[in-house]
């Protein structure tokens, strides 16, 4: 099952008691013995494609695909500023850093975990840059840090690595993988999420075309 997760909805419940996706999982059970469960992470403020496994075997199979890097993930983002070039790859290790005063964040650090992101420019305008990301690794906040630290500008609305306001302009636009043969028909799964309302004006400012659906 692939959901279009709205921005601002946490996948898991936290200590603050804020509503999360977990509250809606019983409504997605549809006769199965167990509740569906997310097969990967998606930040609270990130909108778009989130894959869930409806059974334990399906969840295990999905976990194996993600662990093997066999899932193609494409993200869209809008940044203030942007790279000088039109495409490339960022390889910048990331390390979790925390302080009592500011809490935790991910920082570039040679001692951190390897983090690699492919990118290309989809449009520019009004001081903004519309970027497509294809992450090769799946580190926490990877795209947000790579945009701010290596690509010339933080993602719009990023309260941690940029400036809050207007919602985080980061969308899990597309996800694709080959589903193994077995109980299901098998074959290629490709799902695309629509552009959320809070990102449409910024994308339009970067393009002479109307914002895509």
Q: Mean pLDDT of residues grouped by 10 in the chain (213 residues)?
A: 95 81 92 94 95 94 94 97 96 92 90 97 96 96 98 96 96 93 69 97 86 74
Which CATH architecture group holds 2-205? 2-Layer Sandwich (3.30)
Q: Which residue among 43, 45, 126, 158 is the active-site one?
A: 43
Any idea of the CA torsion for 202, 119, 102, 8, to the nearest 10 degrees?
50
Give catalytic status of residue 181 as yes or no: no
| Confidence (pLDDT) at 182 | 52
Q: Where are the domains of the chain?
A: 2-205
Q: What does the alpha-carbon distance between residue 191 and residue 177 come to, in Å, rounded to a whole number? A: 9
| Confidence (pLDDT) at 59 | 94
């Amino acid at each position: 099952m692939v959901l279009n997760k709205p921005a601002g909805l946490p996948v898991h419940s936290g200590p603050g008691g804020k509503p999360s996706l977990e509250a809606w999982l019983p409504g997605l059970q549809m006769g199965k013995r167990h509740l569906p469960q997310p097969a990967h992470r998606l930040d609270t403020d990130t909108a778009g494609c989130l894959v869930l496994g409806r059974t334990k075997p399906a969840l295990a199979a999905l976990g194996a695909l993600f662990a093997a890097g066999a899932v193609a993930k494409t993200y869209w983002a809008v940044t203030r500023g942007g790279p000088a070039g039109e495409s490339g790859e960022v390889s910048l290790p990331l390390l979790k850093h925390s302080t009592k005063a500011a809490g935790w964040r991910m920082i570039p650090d040679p001692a951190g975990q390897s983090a690699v992101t492919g990118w290309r420019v989809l449009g520019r305008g009004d001081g903004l840059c519309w970027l497509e990301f294809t992450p090769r690794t799946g580190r926490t906040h990877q795209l947000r840090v790579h945009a701010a630290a290596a690509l010339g500008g933080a993602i719009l609305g990023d309260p941690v690595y940029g400036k809050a306001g207007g919602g985080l302009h980061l969308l899990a636009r597309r996800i694709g993988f080959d589903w193994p043969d077995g109980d299901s028909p098998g074959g290629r799964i490709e799902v695309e999420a629509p552009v959320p309302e809070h990102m449409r004006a910024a994308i339009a400012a970067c393009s002479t075309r109307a914002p895509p659906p």
